[in-house]
Chains A and B, each alone.
Chain A
Amino acid sequence: MQKPQNEMKLIFKSLSINEGFARVAVSAFAAQKDMTIEELNDIKTAVSEAVTNSIVHGYKNSIGDIYITCGIYNNNTIRIKIRDKGCGIEDIEKAMEPMYSSLGGDRAGLGFSVMECFTDRLKVSSKPGKGTTVILEKKVSIKC
Chain B
Amino acid sequence: MDLSAFFVELANVWPRLLQGSIATVTVSFQAIAYGSVFGSLLGLMIFYGRMPARICGWIYLDFIRGTPVLVLMLASFYIVPLAGLGLSATGAGILALSAFCSAHVAEVFRGGLAAVPPGQAEAAKSVGLTFPKILFYVLLPQVLRQALPAWINAAVEIVKASSLLAVISVPELLLTTQQIVSRNFMNAEFYLVCGLIYFAINLTLSKFGKLVEKRLAF
Q: Do A and B come from one complex?
A: no
